[in-house]
Structure 1
Amino acid sequence: MRLNASIDVARFLLTSGFPFRGHDESEGSKYKGAFLELLNDIVEACAKETTKAITEDLDGDYFGILVDESKDVSHKEQMALILRYVNKRGMVIERFLGIVHNTIGASFKRKDSLRQHQEDKLEELLKFGEVHTGQGLNQERGLQRPSDTHWGSHFKTLDNFLILFSSIVNVLKDMKRDCPYHLDRFVAENLLSKIHEFEFVIMLHLMFKVLLLTNELNKVLQRKDQDIVNAMGLLDLSKKRLQMMREDEWDSMMDEVSLFCGKHGISIPKMNEGYYNGKSKRKRSNISYLHHFRVEVFYAIIDLALQELNNRFDVVTSDLLLGMTSLSPVDSFANFHKDRIMKLAEYYPSEFGNKELREHNFQLDDFIVYAQKCDSKFLNLKGIKDLAKVMIETKLDQTWSLVYLLVKLTLIIHVATASVERAFSSMKYIKNDLRNRMDEDLLNGCLVC
């Protein structure tokens, strides 16, 4: 009776994400001996049964695995494994399989101080007519930590930093003057010195512009209902805009930086003088400030961004994404493109040899005519997921087996890391600030369930 009750309670806690041992989930907590061992055994058994159920549902079919990592609440690197497959009913299934800004944002008092300086600045701007009131205008901004798994957060952080610069300076001055601890005063003084350097300001503006040019692409790739054709268009646009920025926008950016420096009392070095790295003003290098900022910073960062986009979206990736889009049934297969679909199939040589590719070519011709003109069930589908389910329901997966195979292979391709981000969000519920000492086995068992 006690064992059954313990299992029932453990199952309830696992499905609810509740703690087992209060706020302390570590091995060194007050719960000792047989009870602790039994509890860990129950969690492990539940995790194994959950994994077994997933394996049986998979039934030896094709699957994709996406791996990513992030820091948990105790700053340990955790790895998430996401399994993606299509079940026997044509439904896409995703499972969580395993888990093998700081100075100002750290204090409520400093946050309040930042908010007050922001309000005072806004009142001053309103008084002189530099900003206007109205619904949705001049909303309160704050500094947020950029997220490791949310690309757009870095752009938003830099945007807010530029707008709140004077308020941030005032808060740091208050810290430098009023903080009771010497270390806090030292940190504030050091940060004040850093953010008033010309090199910091030019980097702030440069990174803001680079992230601005890729922000729309980032937002599209983060969406669950991804429009790949639109995403590929935005990819090309981002690369062209970065190249245009590299070739034509140095002077305009320098004008913005100079205006910003003049507004906030930041000294601008003479660009024809020899650059020094900050260690000693007496030891100047053979290159000028202009060469350093334009070639070693401006060009180098833009080239790095372009190279990263080319690496992440190479020819193979582009072929895969465009082939996926060409299979989409949206608007009666409006994006259907036979050559792209055949190119997609060629990337699976184990499944599509010469004989299969030839047969697949014929099946595509028959399938698209049937789907567009002969069966109304294919008219209002919203995506490839719906296409797979309808093919199973109508048993057309057997008639055009190679078409369905490619649809299934397409569905298990991970286009973005949204699933992993949701998994990491779950991890923060399980291992939170009050339970940050739980061991890896218990964390893994809880998350699998």
Structure 2
Amino acid sequence: MLTSPEIQKQICEACAEETKKVILAEIGDKKFAIIIDEARDTSIKEQMALILRFVNNQGQVIDRFLGIEHVTDTSSSSLKQALDGMLSKHNLSIKNLRGQGYDGASNMRGEFHGLQRRILDENPYALCRLQLMWSAVLEVLENVCQDATNLAQRTTATGLLEKMESFEFVLVLHLMIKVLGKTNDLSQCLQKKDQNIIRAIGLVGVTLQKLNEIRHHGWDAIFEEAKDFCLKHNIVVPDMSAEIVRRGCSRGRRGQLVTYYEHLHHEIFNVVLDQVIVEFNNRFAERSTQLLRCVACLDPSNSFANYDEDKLVELAQIYVDDFTEYDCIVLRDQLDTFITEGREDSSFLSCCDLGNLAMKMVKTDRHTVFPLVYRLIELALILPVATATVERAFSAMKIIKTDLRNKMGDEWMSHCMICYIERDIFASIEDRQIIEHYQAMRTRREQIPKTRNISIVDESNLSN
């Protein structure tokens, strides 16, 4: 009775809607932040994913997936329109929105499309493995060139062999190992579900300093490493004084000539690092960094060693909708009392970050005694520092919508993703609630017995 594709989709929709009800009830009238990104699914359709970030009643930072929305293009206006529609559909008030997080290089924020994501998501140790397994990789490519029956595979393998056995490729490989190695600690910190904002802000300054050091003083070392690698693996090192046409120019139109050394140094090394540093500064702009420095003053580590009352009041003044001038005056007294009590209370010694501090305040009922302090901590916790959560949603999308299921409708895929990503909530929903929601969706010829267990999704029908 419940095996037809249409009914399976309706049951899946009922499951997703009941899951969203729990999520929206959990948020209630709390302040929240949104994390948004866009990506293409397997059928080359642009999809925008929305994550809500908030602090629950226990003081825990929660990220919840609300759904995806197909957008006709990735312009900022189309993404904004889709966002407004999703918030309105779920009755989420824009007045409670306190933060917005986007992929740093998407159309919403940057100009160098995708650079930020590639830098943050790439694992530098994958490139290290390529370096260590160099000979084995070349051997495999040679075997593909000789044995592959597919012309496209042989052509690709031949092109890769030629590209890999060039000095320019080797130089770029060593450059990216160095750059990604310096950014890896910050990347891993930002991608953790339990993000430590205090540690992140410390790593931001150190990472930017290291990148600038590579930009100004790292060329010679990377250049020599690349040459040594080429000599070891019998790769021809070209004459660095030989002249080639400047990148972007035509030799036939008498384009400007540069030496091969200048091409590698100025057109590759400098350009790559300049773009990374520019994107880094865009992602962590001065105002955003200052905001995080203020947040760092709430760090409970070492008996609130970083406590600075003036910076915390400055942080409160940024949120004009949450702190009046009178609140800022009262906040000073609450901060002073709270910090003094926190330093004397041994139970706070176990707090190592803001998340633990918020949970400890709720557990000891201090969030009602110091409401302005807790409000400040809550706003600090929902700051969307990174977009790792929404990237994980796109990973789920690839699992659900595959090449064999590339005809899935957008709504059905969104419903499946909600049940898959928020499966902890979905598992807690009783069958009775899903059955009642399914029955209420339209007039049925028969009523489903409330005590009967049903199969929620038949995977064999997902492609219909």
With structure 2 as the length reference, what TM-score do the two structures score?
Answer: 0.71
Q: Deviations over 1:135-168 (max 9, x none)?
A: xxxxxxxxxxxx9689364412221222222222
Q: 1:415 aligns with which of 385, 397, 407?
A: 385
1:28-67 superposed matches below 5 A: 35-67=4-36
CA contact (8 A) 1:246 1:302 kept: yes
Tell me which amino acid in the other structure corresponds to 1:410: A
CA contact (8 A) 2:244 2:257 kept: yes
SS at match of 2:49: strand
CA contact (8 A) 1:71 1:78 kept: yes
What stretches of structure 1 move > 6 A for 4+ residues in a row? 147-150, 277-284
1:286-297 superposed matches below 5 A: 286-297=257-268
Tell me which amino acid in the other structure corresponds to 2:177: F
Deviation at 1:62, TM superposition (A): 0.8
1:387-398 superposed matches below 5 A: 387-398=357-368
Name the CA distance, whole Å, in 1 between partners of 2:321 and 2:264. 51
1:83-232 superposed matches below 5 A: 83-100=52-69, 151=120, 153-232=122-201
Q: Deviations over 1:327-349 (max 9, x none)?
A: 23344333323233223222212
Name the CA distance, whole Å, in 1 between partners of 2:303 and 2:404. 52
CA contact (8 A) 2:41 2:47 kept: yes
Q: Which residue of 2 aligns with 1:439?
A: 409
SS at match of 2:175: helix
Q: Deviations over 1:14-39 (max 9, x none)?
A: xxxxxxx7xxxxxxxxxxxxx43333
Name the CA distance, whole Å, in 2 between partners of 1:413 and 1:184. 46
Q: Which residue of 2 aligns with 1:324?
A: 295
Q: Which residue of 2 aligns with 1:304?
A: 275
1:251-270 superposed matches below 5 A: 251-270=220-239
Moved more, 54-63 or 229-238: 229-238
Q: Deviations over 1:222-279 (max 9, x none)?
A: 3344444443333322222222222223222222222222223332232222113799
> When the two structures are aligned, how many residues end up with a matched partner?
371
5+ unaligned residues in a row in structure 1: which ranges?
7-20, 22-34, 101-146
Name the CA distance, whole Å, in 1 between partners of 2:382 and 2:217. 42
Q: Which residue of 1 aligns with 2:285?
A: 314
Name the CA distance, whole Å, in 2 between partners of 1:77 and 1:150. 22
Q: Which residue of 1 aligns with 2:76?
A: none
Name the CA distance, whole Å, in 2 between partners of 1:224 and 1:55. 20
Q: 1:71 to 1:393 in 2, by over 3 A?
A: same
Q: 1:270 to 1:331 in 2, by over 3 A?
A: same
Q: 2:311 aligns with which of 336, 340, 350?
A: 340
Q: Which residue of 2 aligns with 1:386?
A: 356
5+ unaligned residues in a row in structure 2: which ranges?
70-115, 420-464
Deviation at 1:65, TM superposition (A): 1.0
SS at match of 1:206: helix
SS at match of 1:371: helix
CA contact (8 A) 2:186 2:204 kept: yes
Deviation at 1:363, TM superposition (A): 1.6
Deviation at 1:415, TM superposition (A): 2.6
SS at match of 1:93: strand
SS at match of 2:320: coil
Q: Deviations over 1:253-306 (max 9, x none)?
A: 222222222223332232222113799988774222222211111111111121
Name the CA distance, whole Å, in 2 between partners of 1:206 and 1:253. 7
Percent identity, aligned pairs only, is 39
Q: Which residue of 1 aligns with 2:428?
A: none
CA contact (8 A) 1:98 1:444 kept: yes
SS at match of 1:69: strand
With structure 1 as the length reference, what TM-score do the two structures score?
Answer: 0.73
